[in-house]
Amino acid sequence: MGTARWASEAPPTGAPRTRPRGSLFAEPSRTQGFDRATLHDDASRLDSPPRERAVAPGRRRTQGVETMETASELAVRLTKLSREQFWNVYTEFDWPEALSGERYCMKPELISIYGTELWDELDEAQRMRLSLYEIGNFFSLTLQGERPLVAGLSDRLYSKKVTEEATEYLHHFIDEENKHMIMFGVFLQKYLGKVYPEKKIVLDREYSKGEEELAFFCKVMVVEELGDYYNVKMMLDDEIEPIVKQVNWVHHRDESRHLGFGRRHLTELAEQWLPVWDDATKARFSDWLGAYIKSSWSDFYNPKMYDDAGMRDVAGTGYQIRKMALAHPATAAHRAKASKKLVNIFLRLGLLQEQPDL
């Protein structure tokens, strides 16, 4: 098993950019002032018809009426964006030889035991060490979640399950997810010496018509929505290791497109199949989806992560810490907050029939 790599001094020259590339990090331009009197004296402006309001992203206007874009129409726009923002995973990062050891690797508020009595008992050095293995577990979860995602998307290329326009975008989707796996893999092998293995067991089951397709894209949404919540919280945080901040930013940059497509495509699938399912099928799917979200959250409390961080000498075995953390009100509140957008999407679409107990 590999060991974590820290540096006793500041990162060497060539450390990752503190502001990764991307328009999000550009300084906002200052709005120029204007003379209102001059504006009102301009007869040509006064005589001109009012400007038509711009169409919001993700919507279209037909004969003056705004409606949602279809997944295929959205895929065309996303394909263009992916081509414009194409990047090379092998040149995007200047990987430091070791982490500084002087900053958190995960934002403290996102650490799995934050808000518990155990967190209060840890000193700063113990918290920082735990943060390394927490980010290692988070990146491992994301990597492991993207493996079946890529396999499933590949299986849908040039099939009747998706349109020609969607197939074109899925090529970019798969390419970007593959880059993410490389990115997370480099970080994990370089600074932890390993990738935490996947714990989920896939059981064969029979599906009603359309159920397997809906289940696949629901799983995609769970992995990506929960992951993006963490990405957004860390990608602008100057208090964490710069390379961690950059990895979160790069991941979010692509995932914002993936999430847009996933939400739209899932909406169309729900509109297609839910009306033909009987009540028993809807209830069964809702129960499965709630259990899947809960199971996905349990992976954030990896016993091995606690053991690797040296917590056994402080608070018992990793399994004991996991049990305590999952049952604590503070962590339950965190899971509910982080899942709010995801759960609301599923409730709105009718895929969940009630708020799951997370």
Name the band, by pLDDT with cuts 50, 70 and 90, for residue 315: confident
Asked if 25 and 248 touch (Cβ cutoff 8 Å), the reply is no
Q: Is the pTM value of this prediction over 0.75?
A: yes
Domains of the chain with bracketed CATH = 107-198+205-349 (1.10.620)
In this prediction, residues 183-192 reach a mean pLDDT of 97
pLDDT (tens digit per residue) in 209-246: 899 999 999 999 999 999 999 999 999 999 999 999 99
Name the band, by pLDDT with cuts 50, 70 and 90, for residue 52: very low
Retrieve residue 249's tokens.
């930013």
Tell me what pLDDT residue 291 has. Answer: 95
